[in-house]
Amino acid sequence: MLLDIDDKIKLVLSETGFTFCNCLYIDDKIQAIIDTGADIGSLQAVHPENIDRVINSHHHIDHTRGNKFFANAQISIHEFDAEPLSNIEAFEHFNSFDRWPELMPGTNYEDTAKSLGLLKEDFADNFKVDNTLNDGEIIDFGKTKMQVIHTPGHSKGHCSFWFPEQDFLFCGDICLTKAGPWYGELFSNPGDMIDSINKLIELKPGRMASCHIKKVCTDSTARLTEFRDRIYKREERILKYLTGSPANIDQIAQQKLIYRMHVTPFVLFWEKLMVLKHIQRLLESGMIEEVEPGIYQAK
């Protein structure tokens, strides 16, 4: 399904959910798509063989899984995310999949990954980068002009995209969903995400869409502020729990202070990775201490 932003820009709404995403199609002199993680039926609506440029907001598989269908397109991504979109070893390392045995002992990775389409063979054909994006870069598609905004936090190279003439922001995986924000990979950082969201708040976009909600929002300041503040609230919950008693990462994650439900082992895995990010922030701020190896308590 295509949702018009204007006569040249259309939101490609994916007909599938988890591990897929909405994309943005620019139907101009240069035809382009931002992210390719929609289901194949939705991607076919923009005729992949005619697309000149694929622009990935970041390297995660739910945003790049369809790159292989755009055989005639140049693939672009921010330089900080180019490496994991270039080879499988870097992809697994950046996504922290190499930490699965440590954080998820007793849970088989292959079985879990298969159920979500995250096995190597599911994205082995996607490793290709032709050029990289720069913060502030203006891309001219013809009548449509777009500015690249580097917004790290979700990944190190995550980018958002600003269309000034349309007063429209496509903010990628600053996702605006009930489950976000997400910062569960090696180079993601909740502090960077706070800074990135603040940057977008200052932009004051009249209209805004993300890769995981099926609507165009007009309440950007309020929506982005509430989304950012969830990061602070998560940290407050972790600190409050550690005030009561010392705990390790497994014990903290079992309290479901980030996700209300661990519907798959991957959600528990991501909760642990994100808790680790908050633990590091709290250690650096001096609000908690490591009382024994791997055991943390509020001061």
Confidence of residue 75 (pLDDT cuts 50, 70, 90): very high
Percentage of the residues of the chain whose pLDDT score is greater than 90: 91
Torsion of CA 222, 192, 268, 105, to 10 degrees: 180
248-255, Cβ contacts within 8 angstroms, sequence gap of 24 or more: 248/294, 248/295, 248/296, 249/103, 249/275, 249/276, 249/279, 249/294, 252/279, 252/296
Question: Could you tell me the CA-to-CA distances from 39 to 139, 207, 291 in Å, in that order?
Answer: 26, 25, 48
Query: For 24-48, what is each residue's pLDDT tens digit?
Result: 999 999 999 999 999 999 999 999 9
pLDDT confidence of residue 121 = 73
How many other CB atoms are there within 10 angstroms of residue 148's CB atom?
Answer: 20
Q: What is the dihedral of CA 211, 93, 66, 64, to 10 degrees?
A: 30
- Which domains are delineated in the chain? 2-228 (3.60.15.10), 236-298 (1.10.10)
Q: Is the pLDDT of residue 123 over 80?
A: no
Separation between Cα atoms, residue 191 and residue 207, nearest integer Å = 25
Per-residue pLDDT band at 244 (split at 50, 70, 90): confident
